[in-house]
Amino acid sequence: MRLQHKLRGDPVIALGFLAPSLIGFALFYMVPFVMGMVYSVQDGTREAHFVGLDNYIALFQSQSFRKAAWNTIWFTAVSVPVMLCSAVWIAIALNGKLFIRRWLRTAYVLPLVVPVASVVLVWQTFFEWNGALNHIFDYFGWHRVDWLKSDASRWIVLFLYMWKNLGYNVILILAGLQGISKDYYEVAEIEGGTRRTKLAITLIYLMPTLIFVAVMAIVQSFKVFRETYLLAGDYPHDSIYQLQHYMNNMFASIEIQKLTASAVVMVIAIWIIVTILFRAERWFRSFME
């Protein structure tokens, strides 16, 4: 009877429902990643020998990897703060008494349901050498610009990332705003608080949501490879050559050691950033309590 009672407990039932997803996650994500970690410290995949950190040392000595790592760091460092600030500003506006507010809420969700390939096709017809923007330049007598093969490509990808992912973050922050009690603002009005005071109240109680959105934005910034690859191919301009390009090219050339070592480095970097953000959230909650 006691065994049957344990088997009918909530943890066991929950584990039973989660088992298919956990098995799939282990088979298709955890096991390949662990195998990749093993390959990253070997000199091959068959009859291999342990070489320690030699693959990582060679990786950091690679000019292509350093360029890809720097571009990825730059993109994340620029895109995430811009994304957060833009999403907070738009969410606050949509949370207030704004004209055509319902229409705007729908408009910001639409990019989430548009296929990436369709979006990239539109952007290519606008920014390529014979695209719409260069035709406008010809009309005014200006010189054409090869936008996707110049430093401007970095800003094009950044704007594409913002357009594609901004609506999702706005929804999350809008949900956080609606969870803040109006009593705080009423007390601030009674005590003669200004707009800056209300903004401070909003940011303080929105901080857990902002940290979660920051984590999601960081993950999304590392997934911008899809758009960049469809937009500019395997070897794009140097300014948008990112870690995912490097790993994709190493996979194509069957450089397994470089591929796995770079993947491990990227995962460790993301893990460190996310850990710092979650620790900051726990510290903030303890400080507020």
* 8 domain residue, yes or no: no
Q: How many domains does the chain have?
A: 1
* 241 domain residue, yes or no: yes
* 48 domain residue, yes or no: no
Q: Bin 192: left if φ > 0, else alpha if -120 < ψ < 50, else beta.
A: left
* 168 domain residue, yes or no: yes
Q: Using 70 as the pLDDT threshold, list the residues of the chain that sit under it.
A: 1-10, 97-108, 193, 287-289
* 267 domain residue, yes or no: yes
- Model pLDDT for residues 109-148, shown as the tens digit of each residue: 777 777 777 888 888 888 888 888 888 888 888 888 888 8
* 264 domain residue, yes or no: yes
* 130 domain residue, yes or no: yes
Range of the domain at 179: 62-288
Q: What is the pLDDT of residue 100?
A: 61
Q: What is the pLDDT of residue 70?
A: 92
Could you tell me the CATH number of the domain that includes residue 255? Answer: 1.10.3720.10
Q: What is the pLDDT of residue 212?
A: 87
Q: What is the pLDDT of residue 190?
A: 78
- Model pLDDT for residues 54-91, shown as the tens digit of each residue: 889 988 998 999 999 999 999 999 999 999 999 888 88
* 277 domain residue, yes or no: yes
